[in-house]
Amino acid sequence: MPELPEVESLRRILVRSAVGRTVVAAKVKEARLRRMVTPDLARAIAGRTIEGIGRRAKYLMIELSGDHLMMVHLGMSGSLTHRRGDFDDAAFDARHDHVEFTFDDGSRLVYNDPRRFGLLKLVAHAGVESIVELKGLGPEPFAKDFNGEYLWRVSRGRRGAIKNLLMDQGIVAGVGNIYASEILFRARVRPSRRAGRVTRAELARIATITAEVLREAIGSRGTTFRSYRDSQGQPGRFASKLRVYDREGQPCVECATPIRAVVIGQRSSFYCPRCQK
């Protein structure tokens, strides 16, 4: 599933290519995503100009002229690509091009999603704070209020694993399975440790490293294992920099001990039994 670095990378590219473009036509070919595409989306968005693109957690917030914005979540296998004359669509099955927006310059913004777990939702600017998907989200990993002291407060008394705490969107917005494993490796904290037993110093390290890992991944346009592509149709490059995720049995980059895998919260987690305590 695309996590914060993939969505933020996508946002930055689309800001350069799509902001200022006007939607002259729109088409919903398949409305049955994780939730039904907003009824009359095509009619409502036609004639609107994209004025900006923001992000909250793993959601893209496409700001439109008028009084609405479009919220997009890529789900498990979704992509949002800006297809211009030189776009290579070989990696995309046209059967899964579910929603399409044609811009005033002839280019197209296409939502493709083989598994149909994504979300496209038109919402009023005035109602953003009440959007159910955004309610209860924790701070962004780059926010000043996401720090060691914050993690110390929210982790006290928790018996669940520290990795689950990092992946709890109500604790910190946007961190998923891949990056939680990488963060905890660099922080030298075993993912299965009870969150309530992680020390204040370790939590301070985790908070700092969270921002570092995510920024590094954004700089590499995120991570692609299977289906993720950015708006230019290109895969993320961060997979080559992963130190533990999906490396079970391979030697640790720090000590050469074989990396182990364990299931935590129904998700595969990877760690070094020597480096992480």
DSSP assignments along the chain, one per residue = ---HHHHHHHHHHHHHHTTT-BEEEEEES--BSSSBPPTTHHHHHTT-BEEEEEEETTEEEEEESSSEEEEEE-TTT-EEEEE-TT---TTS-GGGEEEEEEETTS-EEEEE-SS---EEEEEEGGGGGG-TTTTT----TTSTT-SHHHHHHHHTT--SBHHHHHH-TTTSSS--HHHHHHHHHHHT--TTSBGGGS-HHHHHHHHHHHHHHHHHHHHTT---SSS---TTSPPPSGGGG-SSTT-TTSBPTTT-PBPEEEEETTEEEEE-TTT--
Of the listed 2, 5, 141, 191, which one is catalytic? 2
Q: Which two tokens stand for residue 118?
A: 């994504």
For the question of residue 58 being annotated catalytic, the response is: yes
For the question of residue 27 being annotated catalytic, the response is: no
Of the listed 35, 63, 267, 273, which one is catalytic? 267
For the question of residue 3 being annotated catalytic, the response is: yes
For the question of residue 156 being annotated catalytic, the response is: no
The closest alpha carbon to 183, from 159, 205, 152, 160, belongs to 205
Of the listed 58, 163, 190, 247, which one is catalytic? 58
* Residues recognised as catalytic: 2-3, 58, 267
